[in-house]
């Protein structure tokens, strides 16, 4: 338990989280486009649309925090979807393989943000990050249909 407390202290949650959440608007939700061609033609059901709108704020918090660890050009995909095993809204970020050594630090940061959002804003979400090695893009597109446009 004391070991976890030490780890939590080593990763600092971005102090601008509340500011980022406050300034998210409808315009920002439109910045996440549907990530695959067939999906653009489908009518999204209400649940998926609500997940997208609910997750844009947390996804932006995570993205901005990740930029402090990984250069923007090495963030290859930043997507929104759902963990179908739990139903929890989730972001998936794919980074360049050369940053594999930073995954542990990124996971600690993600955990800190998840806990903060849950305790302070009652938002239950997950942040997943992986490298681009051995990616099955069709599965990524299906499970995380919304992709941040400027990546």
- Kindly state whether residue 119 falls inside one of the protein's structural domains: yes
CA–CA distance from 76 to each of 62, 71, 79, 132 (Å)?
14, 10, 10, 8
What are the tens digits of pLDDT across the range 22-72? Answer: 777 666 666 676 555 445 444 445 566 777 778 899 999 999 999 999 999
- Kindly state whether residue 52 falls inside one of the protein's structural domains: yes
Question: What is the distance between the alpha carbons of residues 124 and 149, in angstroms, rounded to a whole number?
Answer: 24
Q: What is the pLDDT of residue 41?
A: 45
Range of the domain at 115: 17-148
DSSP state of 84: T
Q: What is the pLDDT of residue 54?
A: 83
- Kindly state whether residue 126 falls inside one of the protein's structural domains: yes
Q: What is the pLDDT of residue 44?
A: 46
Q: Please state the domain count of the chain.
A: 1
Q: What is the pLDDT of residue 47?
A: 60
The strand ranges marked E within 42-99 are: 75-83, 88-95
What SS3 state is found at 89?
A: strand
Q: Number of helices (H) and strands (E) in the chain: give both, helices first.
A: 7, 5
CA–CA distance from 60 to each of 7, 16, 63 (Å)?
24, 11, 5
CB 59 within 8 A of CB 91: yes
Residue partners of 16: CB distance under 8 A and separation at least 6: 64
Whole-model pTM: value is 0.70
CB 77 within 8 A of CB 147: yes
What are the tens digits of pLDDT across the range 73-118? Answer: 999 999 998 887 888 899 999 999 999 999 999 999 999 999 999 9
Q: Is the pLDDT of residue 11 over 70?
A: no
């Amino acid at each position: 338990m004391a070991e976890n407390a030490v780890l939590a202290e080593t990763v600092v949650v971005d102090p601008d989280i509340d500011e980022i959440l406050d300034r998210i608007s409808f315009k920002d939700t439109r910045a996440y486009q549907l990530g695959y061609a067939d999906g653009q033609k489908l009518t999204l059901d209400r649940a998926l649309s609500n997940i997208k709108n609910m997750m844009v704020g947390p996804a932006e918090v995570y993205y901005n925090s990740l930029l402090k660890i990984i250069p923007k050009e090495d963030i290859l995909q930043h997507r929104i979807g759902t963990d179908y095993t739990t139903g929890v809204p989730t972001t998936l970020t794919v980074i360049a393989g050369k940053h594999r050594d930073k995954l542990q630090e990124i996971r600690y940061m993600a955990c800190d943000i998840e806990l903060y959002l849950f305790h302070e804003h009652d938002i239950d979400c997950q942040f997943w990050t992986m490298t681009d090695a051995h990616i099955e893009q069709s599965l990524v597109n299906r499970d995380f249909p919304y992709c941040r446009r400027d990546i």
